[in-house]
Amino acid sequence: MDLRFSPEENAFRQELRSFFRSAVPETIRAKVSENRHLSKEEMVTSHKILHAKGYAVPHWPKAWGGADWTPVQHYIYTEELQYNGVPQPLPFNVSMCGPVVIAFGTPEQKKRFLPRMAALDDWWCQGFSEPGAGSDLASLKTTAVRQGDHYIVNGQKTWTTLAQHADWIFCLCRTDPEAKKQLGISFLLIDMKTPGITVRPIQTMDGGREVNEVFFDDVKVPVENLVGQEHRGWDCAKFLLGNERTGIARVGYSKQRVQRIKELASRVMAGDRPLIEDERFREKVAAVEVELKALEMTQMRVLAEDRHRKDRLPNPKSSILKIRGSEIQQATTHLLLEIAGPLAVPYQADSDDAQFGSNEPPEDLEWAAPAAPAYFNYRKTTIYGGSNEIQRNILAKAVLGF
């Protein structure tokens, strides 16, 4: 047992760090650190910079552009990427749909979709949740009815993140209405330009427009866009959701946010001294740092454990990472809100947002403006990717044997 990084691993970290800092534009990285929304163009730019270096899909098999790294190298990569404010390569492409196509797709599907997915030539979004199917995902009602060499898809998806940018959507659809819940579902890849698809934005309470409703009205999907076996899409879904849990801890982003909290709290005065010298505040920061260190070590342990697992199934302990990672992200956004204090109050609407009335942008509050919206927005982290209560159900069953 040796918990230190080797000199080679430290050199690897340095190499990544200097690449991230020099190659990815400072403006983009600053926006990530400050919890500001990125434009589609910025996300694509950053993704393509990573892709050119082989850093967009390092966890894929080598044949499809993967990097053949050790688990520790993958860990260092994710941490450095996040810590330096680099936007995560689009997760719908690289962590969700890509691995499913790699594991379940046909050779033709792999050739057709994976290279463009890795390069973000196609933007993918996730068609899982429905108005009546949240935590109980398997109760989804969107149907895909086979007609010759097409499926005809009807129904509605919701909470579809960044569907407004998407070229493709991967969808769970019910192909066998007679079968038991999980057994009649299929995993379909659908071109967003197909006639019959309507995207309607949902504005979240922070004012952001990340999520959407997607409506399907007699949408024709070629049969060759079915991934895996017909009616066995639940296998793909389970596989995908398991992968999602490991990436969800976001240790690096939280580390970076803790640094930002310390910097801002050293500048912001509370009476005649910086806020960071207030005992109560700095103890709250220290408490979050301890939680974050425990999460980081736990993540490395889960990683190390995975090396010994013979199956390629997701480690149920990654649910712990999801639970604690999301709670810590929420705690850090709340600390930022506390730093902003009364300066968090002004609402700065996006330019296309008229419902709150016109405003003169407040001056000199760049750092304070995103504090409250980020706090409001991050309530999502304990809800998405399988709510934390669902994660507890998974742990109760898979780890504790209830």
Partner 1 sequence: MDFDLNDEQRQLKDSVDRLLADSYGDLAQRMGYMKEPKGYKAALWQQYAELGLLGIPFAEEHGGLGQGLTETMIVAEAFGRALAIEPYLATVVLAGGVLRHSGNAALLEELVPAIVEGKLTLALAHQERQARFDLADIATTARADGKGGYTLEGEKAVVLAGDSADKLVVTARVSGARADRSGIGLFLVDAKANGVTRRGYPTQDGQRAADVTLSAVRVTPEAVVAGPDKGLQVLERAVDEAIAALSAEAVGAMGGLHELTVDYLKTRQQFGVPIGSFQVLQHKAVDMLTALEEARSMAYYATMMAAEPDARERRKAMAAAKVQIGKSARFLGEAAIQLHGGIGMTMEYKAGHYFKRLTMIDMAFGDTDHHLRELAKMGGLT
Q: Which residues are catalytic?
A: 244
Which residues ranging from 329 to 368 are in contact with partner 1 (CB under 8 A)? none
Rounded least distance, CB 386 to partner 1, Å = 14
Alpha-carbon distance 144 to 174, whole Å? Answer: 6
Q: Does 72 bind partner 1 (CB under 8 A)?
A: yes
In eight-state DSSP terms, residue 165 is: G
**Residue 250 Cα to chain centre, angstroms:** 9
- Residue 56 burial by Cβ neighbours in a 10 Å radius (0-12, 13-18, 19+): buried
Judged by CB under 8 A, does residue 392 bind partner 1? yes
Per CB under 8 A, does 400 bind partner 1?
yes
CB atoms within 10 A of CB 344: 20
383 binds partner 1 (CB under 8 A): no
For 198-216, give one letter per residue: b (16+ CB within 10 A) or e: ebeeeebebbbebbbbbbb
Q: Which of 138, 241, 300, 383 binds partner 1 (CB under 8 A)?
A: 300
Q: Give me the least distance between CB of 284 and partner 1, in Å please.
A: 9
The nearest distance, CB 310 to partner 1, in angstroms, is 16
Contact 202, 210 (CB under 8 A): no
Stretch that binds partner 1, among 35-43, 85-93, 204-212, 318-326 (CB under 8 A): 318-326
Residue 306 class from Cβ within 10 Å (0-12 exposed, 13-18 middle, 19+ buried)? middle
Identity of the residue, 27 or 266, whose beta carbon is nearer to partner 1 in the bound complex: 266
Q: Tell me which residue of 189, 188, 180 sits closest to 138, measured CA to CA.
A: 180
Cβ proximity to partner 1, 303 vs 374, nearer residue: 303
Segment 255-294, which members bind partner 1 (CB under 8 A)?
A: 255, 258-259, 262, 279, 282-283, 285-287, 289-294
Give the residue carrying structure tokens 């300066």: 343
Q: Give the contact letters, 190-229, x = binds to partner 1 (CB under 8 A), - = no.
A: ----------------------------------------
Q: Is 295 in the site for partner 1 (CB under 8 A)?
A: yes
CA distance 35 to 376: 12
Does the protein bind partner 1 through residue 29 (CB under 8 A)?
A: no
3-class secondary-structure state, position 71: helix
- To partner 1, the closest distance from the beta carbon of 293 in angstroms equals 6
154 touches partner 1 (CB under 8 A): no
161: its two tokens: 């993140």
Please name the amino acid found at residue 377: N
Q: Which residue has the tokens 């005992």?
A: 279
CA distance 390 to 135: 7
- Nearer to partner 1 among residue 350 and residue 389 (C-beta): 389
CB closer to partner 1, 192 vs 390 = 390
Q: Is 297 in the site for partner 1 (CB under 8 A)?
A: yes
Write down the residue that tokens 């086979």 correspond to. Answer: 146
Nearest distance from C-beta of residue 241 to partner 1, angstroms: 18
- Which parts of this chain interact with partner 1 (CB under 8 A)? 1-6, 9, 72, 255, 258-259, 262, 279, 282-283, 285-287, 289-298, 300-301, 304-305, 317, 320, 323-324, 389, 392-393, 395-396, 399-402
